[in-house]
Structure 1
């Protein structure tokens, strides 16, 4: 027996997210044995290192920074639009305009104006300030801030998820290490029995068949244990990669699978921590953000907008005429600037079949879906908590039962080994007793892992620490 199917599935799922590790190993130079660095890791050191070096957390940190900047500067929708331009214009032909002017000059007995090249040039400067305001902008600012709050919760969820996954992987590797150590002990016992059987055969104490059976048992067990050891070290490499350690780092796990037992009651947990869930907080913030966006859309539909527009537009003509002093004092200055105040209302958006109202209906539908999802999340949380509490109670009972089983299995094994040495028991009896002992020991470690895993899941669901085993 290696693992129970349930436990093996849990560990496999956690390690499955490291699929990129194979590519990383192929794309990077392999470390030689002399290049390997040995690192002793406790579970807390593993968590701290992962939180500092995790690539997924760095990505989540960037996402949070983007939302923080958007929330902090959401007020910029109230800024006016200020634009400054300068234009130099040359008219190709001004004869038609000049002809009309000269006609008027003749009527008044004044000399005609002669066409010059400077008359074709015009310099235009423009400074415009445009400011829009609507009540919808206030809700847009609030929606951006709600988005930032939702981002903070998502970032906290990423931290919790990383911490829990690292802890489960750490304990899962300890469970594999426990199994490997048991198999190594079994292999060493097989070797000793083989050596003893060879000595007994030479002394004529046992038949050749007994010696051959002992040799076959040892030879069959040896490659099996070697394969298990290779797989264990490969998964340690995977774990190092997930933590952000250099490829090839040799990890030595410091710790044991010893759960911190707690007495828990379903009703008490729901009453105290039922609203602590990060998933609930996240969906509440998403509901708030969506509600703000819907309010902004409705305000833009049913309330008018206000606009102030100011333009300063000085224009200089004939500024190249030396007789008029030249630029900037010479020439003919004019100003066509203006200021305007506007109140507007898009009446089309009020129509129930307009794209604006259809968008509002979609937002309301999504808001209703989120509210239903929240109710489902609450009920699912209750089921998860109840299941976790039942798992913890069952695992604790199994641990107590397994402790008694190990005591009995150990006595049975010791007695069988003594009887085998005295020649009253067969080698098959020893193997059966040893397998029963190993099964009991591994079953105990497996139930301890199940207890720790269920407790971690429960703490994640309720977003609280239920143990005093934290540093």
Structure 2
């Protein structure tokens, strides 16, 4: 038992202990972490590495194939060789061969491999940008939740002060017990709302940690504010270059790749294949008879050959599979061209939609700021009236709810504005916030 306990203790001490890390993140640092540690990006990086390897080593098709074989055989019939009276004997053989086949398709396939890598690089860029967009929005969504928590906590502090004043007034006979119960119920409801907001923030933080690739046990502190900067929608529309977007460039790369595949298929039909081969094939009788002089009976059946072959004699008949395959490939190319047009139109529509959303959000923020000011003024007046006894608690509570709702609406709209700006940056490739990354 003691030995077993000692072994368990030793294993526990020797095993690595996970230590939680503390991260203080700005928007730029969060994006950097995600690019380096996000699992989706990591998987895309591996796939891109495979395409890069295939592109860099594509010249290997010019390395000839080598084959080597050796064997022994025994005659089943009596023979007078190699010496009289020996009915059976062994003979040895070996062969070393090299072969290489070249055609116009070989060189076109090299181009196809290179284009496939280029398309993969654009696809990886697009996937990385998608993760970056999620990180930026999630970063500021967490900041929004923090601001909402602070507003709710401030509301609770005010409600607690109001409740204490109401209890004092009740003790002095100025208000009824019902007013005390209403204030207590209101405070309890606000506290429950705060707990729900905390749970929402914790869930959002857990998703954010997964997104940036850190351990769930790590502590993450965000440094940033939701800033509203005026942006000229006309300048954005004029500066946007849709053709430079990764999704549009990827669609163009797919067209170039398909054209290369089509040409390779066409060349495989019309161009002959050059076959080169050379071999050394020595054979020697009775290899275990050491009385024979070296090289006795040596015979080389090797050869060098050069040939041309073609399978295009009937390939251009409309019902031949090769011809049908060319037609299918051409249809695929036309589909990709249509898809690129659709991607380009969708990109323009997205930018126009984001600009309209940004303009509407700008107007909404201006209106909501006015609403917050009016709600604050209404609450202050109602609170003063309540202190003078000319307003009841329900009126005061209604004014407080209106102020809290106006503050929440403003915070949410400011986040919506910033989220739209981030999406517009991604859609246009422009730096609309003057970031220094």
Q: Same fold (TM over 0.5)?
A: yes
Contact 1:302–1:350 (CA under 8 A) maintained in structure 2 = no
Q: Which residue is 2:166 aligned to?
A: 197
CA displacement, residues 271-316 of structure 1 (integer Å, 9 cap, x when unaligned): 6512111001111111111111110010010111111111111111
Instruction: Note closer, same or farther for the CA distance 1:351–1:89 as it changes in structure 2 (3 Å cut).
Output: farther
- Equivalent residue, structure 1, for 2:289: 321
Q: Shift of residue 330 of structure 1?
A: 4.4
Note if 1:396 corresponds to 2:367: no
Determine if contact 1:81/1:129 at 8 Å carries over to the other structure: yes
User: In the aligned structure 2, how far is the partner of 1:433 from the partner of 1:200?
Assistant: 20
Q: Tell me which of 47, 53, 56 is aligned to 2:31.
A: 47
Match of 2:140 among 167, 171, 177: 171
Could you say which residue in structure 1 is the equivalent of 2:183? Answer: 214
SS at match of 2:225: coil
Q: Is the 8 A contact 1:36 1:249 kept in 2?
A: yes
**Greater mean alpha carbon deviation, residues 378-387 or residues 36-45:** 36-45
> Could you list the per-position Cα deviations for residues 257-279 of structure 1 after superposition, in whole angstroms to 9, with x for gaps in the alignment?
1133321227x636651211100
2:45 corresponds in structure 1 to 61
Distance 1:210 1:391 in 2: 45
Deviations 1:122-165 (A, max 9, x none): 12121111111110111100010001101111111122111110
1:333 to 289, 298, 322: 298
Q: What is the DSSP-based 3-state SS (H/G/I as helix, E as strand, rest coil) of the residue aligned with 1:324?
A: coil
CA distance in 1, matches of 2:302, 2:171: 118
1:311 and 2:279 aligned: yes
> What is the aligned counterpart of 1:277 among 220, 245, 254?
245
What is the aligned counterpart of 2:323 among 351, 354, 357?
A: 357
Deviations 1:80-115 (A, max 9, x none): 212222222223x232xx37x8xxxxxxxxxx9514
What is the rounded CA distance, in whole Å, between the counterparts of 2:188 and 2:162 in structure 1?
12
Runs (5+) with no aligned partner, structure 2: 1-18
Report how many aligned residue pairs link the two structures.
418
Quote how far apart the aligned CAs of 1:411 are.
Answer: 1.5
Residue in 2 aligned with 1:152? 121
Question: 1:319, 1:331 within 8 Å by CA — same for their partners in 2?
Answer: no
Query: What residue is the counterpart of 2:77 in the other structure?
Result: 94
Aligned to 1:80: 64
Q: Could you tell me how far 1:58 is from its partner in structure 2?
A: 1.1
1:260 aligned counterpart, secondary structure: coil
**Is residue 251–residue 343 contact of structure 2 (8 Å, CA) maintained in 1?**
no
Alignment CA distance shift 1:115-1:411 (3 Å):
farther
Distance 1:282 1:37 in 2: 38
- Name segments (4+ residues, structure 1) moved above 6 Å: none
1:141 aligns with 2:107: no
Question: In structure 2, do the counterparts of structure 1 residues 330 and 144 end up closer, same or farther at CA, with 3 Å as the change threshold?
Answer: closer
2:255 pairs, out of 264, 274, 287, with 287
* SS, match of residue 308 in structure 1: strand
Secondary structure of 1:122's counterpart equals strand
Distance 1:135 1:88, change over 3 A: same
Q: What is the TM-score with the length of structure 2 in the denominator?
A: 0.90
Structure-1 separation of matches of 2:231 and 2:395: 40
